[in-house]
Amino acid sequence: MTINLHTHTPRCNHAEGSERDYIEAALAAGIKTLGFSDHSPMPFQTDHTSTFRMKLSEVDDYFATLTALREEFKDQINLLIGVEAEYYPGVFPHLQALLKNYPLDYMIMGQHFLHDEEGYPGCGAKSIDPKWLSLYVDQVIEGLETGAFTYLAHPDLLHYIGCASTYKKHYTRLCERCKELDIPLEINLLGLKEGRHYPNNHFWQIAGEVGNKVIIGVDAHQPYRFAESEVLEKAHALAEKFHLNLTKDIPLRNPIVL
Ligand SMILES: [Zn+2]
Ligand SMILES: [Zn+2]
């Protein structure tokens, strides 16, 4: 692995280790391009707060810390500063207005909740109700169509356990639209390592048939994740099994589009 654009920091309240620890672990693993993409701050327009992302008050420090480290490590590694963000239609313009003030290299989409988060289920919650799957796919497509997102993290996060044909119908339209938009899909090493419901074989079968571009993301919440070479081998086996079009060439899209 020479590139990873999916790396967290402790600001999200569920990751461990300093930025320097992540950089050193990535260097030891042979990574040449390391992108930080912590859970994005989210300027909700209500009194809703979420605890799994950096606070608005931490954004200055996030960019300042990474900008300084980029300079310090410039001869050893190509450091990029990104965020992993949901597309929340009511918040997205405010997020754009916030982030345009910072040296942001890219955004990846990780759609952890539906609608604008508040009062809606998490996408990882098991459900047999197709309305959540349908809404997830609609919302992810709408977000990707903005052009702001460089790739789609754990595309198979929405945990629908109802009938197979409904699963296939909606995830096929997601894969087809991603192909049209040239948006790579991520095989998520964290989910693979921890035996989560993603990566889902049914999803990757579809992605193989549609012919999507596929990339691997560590989704590191601890520096030691970079050393887990056995999970990387499993990801390659998955890619081989479903004839996935693995790429390391990921053109960064301008994250500020509004
Ligand atoms: Zn996380
Ligand atoms: Zn993540």
In the numeric block, which tokens belong to residue 77? 């590694």
**Measured CA distances, 53 to 68, 99, 216 (Å):** 22, 15, 22
**Measured CA distances, 6 to 37, 108, 217 (Å):** 5, 8, 5
DSSP annotation of 119 reads T
**If you measure from the C-alpha of residue 158 to the centroid of ligand 2, how many angstroms do you get, rounded to a whole number?**
15
Please give the Cα distance from 137 to 134 (Å, whole number): 5
* pLDDT one-digit tens code per residue, 169-212: 999 999 999 999 999 999 999 999 999 999 999 999 999 999 99
**If you measure from the C-alpha of residue 165 to the centroid of ligand 1, how many angstroms do you get, rounded to a whole number?**
30
**If you measure from the C-alpha of residue 211 to the centroid of ligand 2, how many angstroms do you get, rounded to a whole number?**
24
Please give the Cα distance from 136 to 22 (Å, whole number): 31
pLDDT band of 242, cuts 50, 70, 90: very high
Domains of the chain: 3-246 (3.20.20.140)
Name the average pLDDT for the chain.
Answer: 98
pLDDT of amino acid 39: 98
**If you measure from the C-alpha of residue 7 to the centroid of ligand 2, how many angstroms do you get, rounded to a whole number?**
7
**If you measure from the C-alpha of residue 19 to the centroid of ligand 2, how many angstroms do you get, rounded to a whole number?**
15
* pLDDT one-digit tens code per residue, 69-82: 999 999 999 999 99
**If you measure from the C-alpha of residue 178 to the centroid of ligand 1, how many angstroms do you get, rounded to a whole number?**
23
**If you measure from the C-alpha of residue 38 to the centroid of ligand 1, how many angstroms do you get, rounded to a whole number?**
8
**If you measure from the C-alpha of residue 4 to the centroid of ligand 2, how many angstroms do you get, rounded to a whole number?**
12
**If you measure from the C-alpha of residue 236 to the centroid of ligand 1, how many angstroms do you get, rounded to a whole number?**
23
**If you measure from the C-alpha of residue 31 to the centroid of ligand 2, how many angstroms do you get, rounded to a whole number?**
18
Name the pTM for this structure.
0.98
Counting residues of the chain whose pLDDT is more than 90, the rounded percentage is 99
Q: In b/e form, how buried is each residue of 170-191, taking b as 16+ CB within 10 angstroms? A: bbbbbbebbbeeebbbbbbbbb
pLDDT of amino acid 158: 98
pLDDT band of 228, cuts 50, 70, 90: very high
Contact 192, 219 (CB under 8 A): no
**If you measure from the C-alpha of residue 109 to the centroid of ligand 2, how many angstroms do you get, rounded to a whole number?**
9
pLDDT band of 5, cuts 50, 70, 90: very high
Q: Note the ligand closest to the C-alpha atom of 12.
A: 1
**If you measure from the C-alpha of residue 98 to the centroid of ligand 2, how many angstroms do you get, rounded to a whole number?**
20
**If you measure from the C-alpha of residue 191 to the centroid of ligand 2, how many angstroms do you get, rounded to a whole number?**
10
